[in-house]
Structure 1
Amino acid sequence: MFPFFHRGRSLIARSFSSLRSDQFNVCVVGSGPAGFYTAEKVFTGMKAAKVDIIDRLPTPFGLVRSGVAPDHPETKIVVNQFSRVAGNERCSFFGNVSLGSHGVSLSELRQLYDVVVLAYGAESDRSLGVPGEDLGGVYSAREFVWWYNGHPDCKAMPIDLKSTDAAVVLGQGNVALDVARILLRPTAELAATDIADHALAALQESTIRKVYLVGRRGPAQAACTAKELREILGIKDLYVHIQESDLVKSQTDEMELENSRIRKRVFELFAKRAASHRSNAIKGQRELHFIFFRKPDRFLPSDSGLHVSGVRLEKTSLKENGESGRQVAVGTGQFDDLKCGMVLKSIGYKSVPVDGLPFDMHQGIVPNIRGRVVNGAPPEHAAVEHGLYVVGWLKRGPTGIIATNLYCAEETVESILEDEKKGLLISDSQKLGRQGLLQILENKGVNYVPFSGWQKIDSEEKLRGQLKGKPRDKITDWEELLRVANA
Structure 2
Amino acid sequence: MITQPCCNDASCVAACPVNCIHPAPDEPDFGTTDTLYIDPRTCIDCGACTDACPVDAIVPADALTGPDIAYAERSTQFYADRTTEPAWGAPEIPRSLPWGAAAPHVAVVGTGPAACYTAQELLRTTGAEVTLVDRLPVPGGLLRFGVAPDHTSTKRIGESFAALFRHPRLRMYLNVEIGEHLTHAELAAHHHAVVYAVGAAAARPLGIPGEELPGSISATRFVARYNGHPEVPGDAVDPTRSQRAVVIGNGNVALDVARILASPPDRLARTDIADHALNALRGADVREVVVLGRRGPAHAAYTWPELHALKNVPGVRLVVEDHPQVRAAIAGDDERAALLRDVPIEPANQAGPPPPGRRIVLRFFTSPRELVGEDRVRAVRVAQGDTQQQIDAGLVVSAIGYRGTPVAGLPFDDATSTVPNDGGRVTDPATGHPRPGTYVVGWIKRGPSGGIGDNRVCARETVDALVQDAAEGRLPSAVGTARDFDRLIRRRRPKALNH
Among 121, 129, 141, the alignment partner of 1:62 is: 141
Q: Percent identity?
A: 38
Q: CA deviation at 1:267?
A: 2.4
1:353 matched to 2:419: no
Q: CA deviation at 1:282?
A: 9.2
Report SS of the residue matched to 2:256.
helix
Which residue pairs with 2:221 in the alignment?
Answer: 143
Which residue pairs with 1:404 in the alignment?
Answer: 454
Q: Would you say the 8 A contact 2:199–2:442 is kept in 1? A: yes
Q: Would you say the 8 A contact 2:243–2:354 is kept in 1? A: no
Which residue pairs with 1:312 in the alignment?
Answer: 381
CA distance in 1, matches of 2:348, 2:464: 56
Q: CA deviation at 1:399?
A: 1.2
Amino acid aligned to 1:139 = I
TM-score by length of 2: 0.75
Q: Please list every run of 5 or more consecutive structure 1 residues that lacks an aligned counterpart in the other structure.
A: 1-21, 258-263, 317-332, 452-487
- Larger helix fraction of residues: 1
Which residue pairs with 1:271 in the alignment?
Answer: 341
CA distance in 1, matches of 2:321, 2:271: 33
**What pairs up with 1:126-275 in 2 under 5 angstroms?**
126-244=204-322, 245-249=324-328, 254=333, 257=334, 264=335, 266-274=336-344
Structure with higher RCO (Cα < 8 A, 6+ apart): 1
Which residue pairs with 1:362 in the alignment?
Answer: 415
Q: Would you say the 8 A contact 1:130–1:298 is kept in 2? A: yes
TM-score by length of 1: 0.77
CA distance in 2, matches of 1:206, 1:230: 26
Q: Would you say the 8 A contact 2:148–2:256 is kept in 1? A: yes
Report SS of the residue matched to 1:164.
coil
CA distance in 2, matches of 1:149, 1:98: 21
1:335 matched to 2:388: yes
Report SS of the residue matched to 2:189.
helix
Amino acid aligned to 1:309 = R
Amino acid aligned to 1:440 = L
Q: Would you say the 8 A contact 2:326–2:364 is kept in 1? A: no
Which whole-Å deviations, capped at 9, do the CAs of 1:430-467 have from their partners, x for residues lacking one? 5225323212112224322133xxxxxxxxxxxxxxxx
CA distance in 1, matches of 2:236, 2:412: 32
- Label 1:222 to 1:201 Cα distance change in 2 as closer, same or farther (>3 A): same
Which whole-Å deviations, capped at 9, do the CAs of 1:62-84 have from their partners, x for residues lacking one? 11111111111100111121112
- Label 1:224 to 1:250 Cα distance change in 2 as closer, same or farther (>3 A): closer
Report SS of the residue matched to 1:167.
strand
Among 107, 121, 134, the alignment partner of 1:27 is: 107
Amino acid aligned to 1:388 = T
1:42 matched to 2:122: yes
Which whole-Å deviations, capped at 9, do the CAs of 1:303-361 have from their partners, x for residues lacking one? xx231111111225xxxxxxxxxxxxxxxx53222111110000111121132110011
CA distance in 1, matches of 2:391, 2:355: 20
Q: Would you say the 8 A contact 1:93–1:450 is kept in 2? A: yes
Q: Please list every run of 5 or more consecutive structure 2 residues that lacks an aligned counterpart in the other structure.
A: 1-101
Over the aligned positions, Cα root-mean-square deviation in angstroms equals: 2.3
Q: Would you say the 8 A contact 1:97–1:446 is kept in 2? A: no
CA distance in 1, matches of 2:271, 2:115: 26
Amino acid aligned to 1:74 = S
CA distance in 2, matches of 1:34, 1:283: 44
Tell me the number of residue pairs that the alignment of Structure 1 and Structure 2 aligns: 394
Amino acid aligned to 2:383 = E
Which whole-Å deviations, capped at 9, do the CAs of 1:100-141 have from their partners, x for residues lacking one? 12x211121112211000001122111121111111111000
Q: Would you say the 8 A contact 1:138–1:343 is kept in 2? A: yes
CA distance in 2, matches of 1:370, 1:192: 42
Q: CA deviation at 1:23?
A: 4.7
Among 361, 364, 368, the alignment partner of 1:292 is: 364
Which residue pairs with 1:386 in the alignment?
Answer: 436
